[in-house]
Structure 1
Amino acid sequence: MKVAVVVNCLKIGGMERVACNLSDAFAKQGHNTHLIYLKNRKIEVSPSNPNVKIHLFALQKMVMLSGIGFIWLIISKLLNVIFRKSFVMFFAYAEAIAFSYKLKKLEKEAGRFDLIIFRGQGTFSHIWPLKDPRFVFVCESMLNQSVYGSKSKQMFSWLFSNRHVVCISKEAQLSFMDLIHSFAISCQSISIISNPNNYEEIRKKASALEANIDYHTSPYILGLGRLVGGKNFPLLIDAYHYARNNFGVTHDLVIVGEGREKTAIENKIKKLGLEDCIFLKGKQSNPFPWYQRADLFVLSSKSEGLGMVLIEALACGTPVVATNCPGGVSDIMRGQLSDYLAEQSPESLAEKIVLALKQGDSVLLGPDVAQSLAQFDEKHIVQQYCDTYLPAQ
């Protein structure tokens, strides 16, 4: 089978890593696999399988170099004044033409694709005017029905009407079903297929310490992700502060990631007087040693499409605690792991942190962790795609 995975860019981020993982997974199972990215930014993550072919479709650049591209850019910006947050949707009329041209050119050289998988709304919003039965749109997170204001019905209808849609968790599917029922949108199909993981590769990377990285040497609790509101690192900091003051926790807190909330987080750390025990390490191209060297990983998000960081931490042999937030976290934290789900409060999260530190590696014992990991194994995920979209092959 010939498969293309399409993603917006290849910066360091959860969705981008998942796109690379999915490409690797298809290639490892013997499929002819191509990874397409749409923005000409620095490549920070890439597939590890050398058989994956990588292509840049620089759509915006192609449009701007065309005769009418700049004119359409101006028109799209004017329409954005009238229809809030619509620029990408209108500009996509031009980008879709560029994508179609590049795809046809690639298929002329490499052969016709059987399946083309778009990862994330930020990716398929660039090409939504195209209709192709081979296209599968993967929703990575919970969808906000009011994101486009009064024009939400029209915008979401453009995105999802008559599409093959994949949701990465049961909760993400429920959120999507609420959206399409609210706006009377008819999809061609809706499936649940989670994100793939190569556990052998994760463990290999976890042991690959880099000489120029300042790894933390004192015992620490780890938070990892983009420093944005949805990841709710202020809650983690408050919970950590509460755990130190009320339960005598002596571990440091290490936060790996970058984002627009960094300054606010730094100010919060200073306000609480925690500069000597909370350390911001920035984004890391290889996050897995940080998981493996931590005594505990904590996810403090307000919502998660799935919660891949929990799977990665477990694969590295690290106990986990998570907020019981909307999304796919409950798909992972099942059985004995559900004991380490916290409410969205500093006190509750602190109590679960203390419990997990006390239990140590016993958190990982029993069949529940193995079963949680098995459902996200790359071979299983690839087979689900094949069974769902290519049943005759």
Structure 2
Amino acid sequence: MTDHKRFLLVLRRMGTGGIEQATRTLACALAKAGHDVHLLVMKGGMCQEEMPAQVTVHCLDVDRISRRGWGLVMHVAERLVLSPLVKGSGFIWRSKRCSKAFAHFVHALEQQYGHLDLILIRGQGAFESLGKFNDLRAWRVVESVTGRFPPNRRGRWLTRALYQDKQVLCVSQGVQHALLEYLHGQNVTLSRSEVLYNAVPVEHIQQQALQPATPSFEQPYLVHVGRLVPVKNQRRLLHAYQIAVEHGLEHDLLIIGDGSERAELEMLSEALGLNHKVHFLGSQANPYPWVKQADAFVLSSNFEGLGLVLIEALALGTPCVACDVPGGIREILIGEQHRLLAAPDEQALAEKMLEAVSHPLPVQEAWVAPFTEAIIIRQLLELTSLAMDMETPHAHPA
């Protein structure tokens, strides 16, 4: 199926996290494949120069726009009366306004550019703002089950506002299982649920990895790439690395990334006596040269919706050690790679680091194949066909 399609990708804001990275990759891949791609950023904006010319970027503060006229009266009522009346319900009232404004945006977009074939809404913030937007072409992309509400009457009502009768794409089977389990407990049902992995630009990554790594390291090393935040649990990584060093690991450890935990992690490294072995390189626009030259990639997260960094490492021929935690990691590290999955504790992770360097695991190209852009685009095109087979009403807020 090679017909030209028109896509709208929606984000609350554009930053440097995994959701934003996955959205950029998908937008570029769709445009490269000849499709018409539109990206809407609802907060903060972004420059068109940040995306290829083939991707049309729209920056529209839907919340602010929706406060005009009677919308301002509604906004004041939400803040002063409705939200205080029911704790956590602010997004429900806001979505009534925002969904209507978004529907007007979609209508104007189609008037100018033509019919949209698929609308992908990504991230909890976008879900909350557009909860009342209903269209058979619209899918919510779920990276993780965040914003869980308590299993009571109020919690069920809030959960229904986000998910009831919605079409949902989960970035892994692990996320899908967790979401459906949570929704079942809240007595909420989806209209449809599918798994769509985030795409990885394999060729681009491999080209980027050919650039020189500065600073360079002669000593063999392990590498970790990720935001330095609690969910990534680099504390466990450092403690496990210390154990591995005490048991004979001679490799250094490179940590690429930045975040709220960096200062404390650097102090922990010093306290553990690892300053001469652990190198904090900060955030790097191109981490791939270091990843390619590493003997193994190590991931210590408490949860990974999918684990894009693992796929990227495998695309560069670097074997991966990871904690066996909820999410999509087991869907990436398949087959023989299971032997490098560690229980989520320091001792087990240390043992797998040692195993990775003492018994190297050759990476197979087939392990990366399910996450390539061509495969993901083909699956998206199947979703557009599904929408065409159904009677599609005009976009409208409920």
TM-score by length of structure 2 reads: 0.87
Q: Deviations over 1:296-329 (max 9, x none)?
A: 2111111111111100111122121011111111
Distance 1:327 1:160 in 2: 20
Aligned pairs for 1:209-224 within 5 A: 209=212, 214=215, 218-224=219-225
Find the partner of 2:18 among 11, 14, 17: 14
Distance 1:227 1:22 in 2: 25
1:23 paired residue number:
27
Distance 1:201 1:83 in 2: 48
1:195 paired residue number:
198
Find the partner of 2:122 among 109, 119, 136: 119
Structure 2: tracts of 5 or more residues without a match: 390-398
Residue 369 (structure 2) pairs with residue 374 (structure 1): yes
Give the direction of change, closer, same or farther, for the CA distance of 1:75–1:196 in structure 2 (3 Å limit).
same
Contact 1:239–1:350 (Cα < 8 Å) also in 2: yes
Alignment size in residue pairs:
383
Distance 2:13 2:93 in 1: 20
Higher mean C-alpha displacement, 327-336 vs 293-302? 293-302
Residue 242 of structure 1 aligns to which amino acid in structure 2?
I
Give the C-alpha shift of residue 351 in structure 1: 0.6
Aligned pairs for 1:1-393 within 5 A: 1-41=5-45, 46-47=50-51, 49-63=52-66, 66-67=68-69, 72-78=74-80, 79-143=82-146, 145-146=148-149, 151-209=154-212, 214=215, 218-245=219-246, 247-360=247-360, 363-365=361-363, 369-391=364-386
Higher mean C-alpha displacement, 259-268 vs 166-175? 259-268
Residue 161 of structure 1 aligns to which amino acid in structure 2?
Q
Query: Residue 327 of structure 2 aligns to a residue in which SS?
Result: coil
Contact 1:10–1:44 (Cα < 8 Å) also in 2: no
Distance 1:364 1:347 in 2: 24
Q: Deviations over 1:362-381 (max 9, x none)?
A: x124xxx3222111111111
Give the C-alpha shift of residue 333 in structure 1: 0.8
Give the C-alpha shift of residue 219 in structure 1: 3.2
Distance 2:273 2:49 in 1: 35
Query: Residue 13 of structure 2 aligns to a residue in which SS?
Result: coil
Give the direction of change, closer, same or farther, for the CA distance of 1:82–1:226 in structure 2 (3 Å limit).
farther
Query: Residue 157 of structure 2 aligns to a residue in which SS?
Result: helix
Give the C-alpha shift of residue 250 in structure 1: 2.5
Distance 1:274 1:74 in 2: 54
Residue 377 of structure 1 aligns to which amino acid in structure 2?
T
Give the direction of change, closer, same or farther, for the CA distance of 1:76–1:263 in structure 2 (3 Å limit).
farther
Contact 2:124–2:146 (Cα < 8 Å) also in 1: no
Q: Deviations over 1:68-102 (max 9, x none)?
A: 66655554444554544444443333332332333
Residue 190 of structure 2 aligns to which amino acid in structure 1?
C
Give the direction of change, closer, same or farther, for the CA distance of 1:300–1:75 in structure 2 (3 Å limit).
farther
Residue 239 of structure 1 aligns to which amino acid in structure 2?
A
Distance 1:130 1:344 in 2: 40
Query: Residue 298 of structure 2 aligns to a residue in which SS?
Result: strand
Residue 115 of structure 1 aligns to which amino acid in structure 2?
L
Query: Residue 223 of structure 2 aligns to a residue in which SS?
Result: strand
Contact 2:117–2:384 (Cα < 8 Å) also in 1: no
Give the C-alpha shift of residue 120 in structure 1: 2.2
Distance 1:69 1:322 in 2: 48
TM-score by length of structure 1 reads: 0.88
Higher mean C-alpha displacement, 146-155 vs 370-379? 146-155
Residue 103 of structure 1 aligns to which amino acid in structure 2?
V
Distance 1:99 1:148 in 2: 31
Query: Residue 273 of structure 2 aligns to a residue in which SS?
Result: coil
Distance 1:63 1:280 in 2: 44
Contact 2:307–2:328 (Cα < 8 Å) also in 1: yes
Contact 2:314–2:367 (Cα < 8 Å) also in 1: no
Query: Residue 107 of structure 1 aligns to a residue in which SS?
Result: helix
Distance 1:373 1:90 in 2: 43
Query: Residue 375 of structure 1 aligns to a residue in which SS?
Result: helix
Give the direction of change, closer, same or farther, for the CA distance of 1:279–1:6 in structure 2 (3 Å limit).
same
Distance 1:180 1:263 in 2: 38
Query: Residue 38 of structure 1 aligns to a residue in which SS?
Result: strand
Distance 2:351 2:297 in 1: 14
Give the direction of change, closer, same or farther, for the CA distance of 1:150–1:43 in structure 2 (3 Å limit).
farther
Give the C-alpha shift of residue 388 in structure 1: 3.2
Higher mean C-alpha displacement, 148-157 vs 316-325? 148-157
Give the C-alpha shift of residue 342 in structure 1: 0.2
Q: Deviations over 1:180-201 (max 9, x none)?
A: 2112212111111111122111
